Amino acid sequence: MMAHVLTFLSGLLFALGLGVSQMTQPQKITNFLNFTGDWDPSLLLVMVGATGIYFVTHQLILRRPVPMMGKRFQLPTRREIDRPLVMGSALFGIGWGMVGFCPGPALASIVTGNESVLIFVLAMGVGMYAFEVLDVRFSMEPDGGAGLLPLQPKGKS
Amino acid sequence: MENFTPVSSLIGGITIGLAASLMLFLNGRICGISGIFGGLLHFKKGETLWRFSFVAGLLCGGVLLLLYHPRSMVINIPYSGPTVMLAGLLVGIGTRMGSGCTSGHGICGVSRLAPRSLVATVTFLASGAMAAIAVNQFWGGQA
């Protein structure tokens, strides 16, 4: 129970950080990505703040043998740069740059009831689900779906 | 650069970094929103409740922002429904195919200097910039 309350607080804190830095506002994102216009470098400082903290804390935390809850740390171990990684990231970036939403801010701003946010989150869920279904199907084919994309067995980060 | 908000961005960024640290400390996991949310779309024992708790926290954080920092929750998206839908689909498919988004790759992975995350982050920043510029140039930001 305690674990879930604290995990809840982690989500709460994450949303507050997005709000304080106004990353919940899509135009803050598009004004950063579109550097040809009236450039707003705010997103860069959000990244500096977040990565700066996590760079230090993750090293301290990983000195512990196990996390507070759970039996072990479950960090991504894959190192290969493959086609799904690059192609997926490129597709994600296009969607992100089009309207200025990525998953965190979109989820946190569902509560505004804004119609565009609801459409976005719904479509995002459909996209995720569709990919999972196709991914499983292709990776079960004899060639691992190699005809379409070299999809690998599951290894999520 | 009249919209640049360095102080609040840095404070917000640090808060996000602390939230991600809390996730690692508690559950021993990367705080990747697309992965946490994506994992909720199909039930798996022991994998659903913590994800649900995190997303519930994210939503409640949104409510707190609406109440106490409403300026941050004024969402203005000047795009048509189909455009928003296409963007959502691309973000959904792309984050699952690429195993992460701005949080998992961009914050956690980059901090860990993980090569996959560095490549992913450079890739989505580049394609994101191209998309944002294209929408602005060709459709005047009104696609």
Q: Annotate A48-108 with DSSP letters as a single string.
A: HHHHHHHHHHHHHHTTSSS-SSSSS-B--------HHHHHHHHHHHHHHHHHS--HHHHHH
Contact B51, A52 (CB under 8 A): no
Please state the ipTM of this predicted complex. 0.95
Q: What is the pLDDT of residue A150?
A: 45
Q: Is the pLDDT of residue A157 over 80?
A: no
Write out the two tokens for B121: 């982050």
Query: CB-based burial of residue B67 (10 Å sphere; 0-12 exposed, 13-18 middle, 19+ buried)?
Result: exposed
Which of residues B109 and A142 earns the better pLDDT score?
B109
Is A70–B17 a contact, with Cβ atoms under 8 angstroms apart? no
Q: Is the pLDDT of residue B141 over 70?
A: no
Q: Tell me the average pLDDT of chain A.
A: 89
Q: Tell me the average pLDDT of chain B.
A: 94
Q: Position A47: which residue type?
A: M
Is B12–A91 a contact, with Cβ atoms under 8 angstroms apart? no
Q: Is the pLDDT of residue A152 over 60?
A: no
Q: Is the pLDDT of residue B73 over 50?
A: yes
Phi, psi for residue B9 in degrees, rounded to 5: -65, -40
Element (H, E) at B50: helix B49-68
User: Distances in Å between the alpha carbon of B94 and those of A38, A86, A93, B18, B56?
Assistant: 28, 9, 8, 26, 24
Helices A115-140 & B81-97 angle (0-180, nearest 10): 40
Please write the tens of the pLDDT for every residue from B25-45: 999 999 999 999 999 988 888
Min Cα separation A118/chain B (Å):
10
Is A49–B4 a contact, with Cβ atoms under 8 angstroms apart? no
Q: What is the pLDDT of residue B28?
A: 94
Rounded average pLDDT over A54-65: 97
Q: What is the pLDDT of residue A128?
A: 96
Q: Is the pLDDT of residue B79 over 80?
A: yes
Q: Say what the alpha-carbon torsion angle B85, B88, B90, B94 is, to the nearest 10 degrees.
A: -160
Q: What is the pLDDT of residue B2?
A: 75
Report the residue count for chain A.
157
Min Cα separation A143/chain B (Å):
18
Please write the tens of the pLDDT for every residue from A28-42: 999 999 999 899 999
Min Cα separation B142/chain A (Å):
10
Beta bridge partners of B29: A74
Beta bridge partners of A74: B29
Q: What is the pLDDT of residue A156?
A: 44
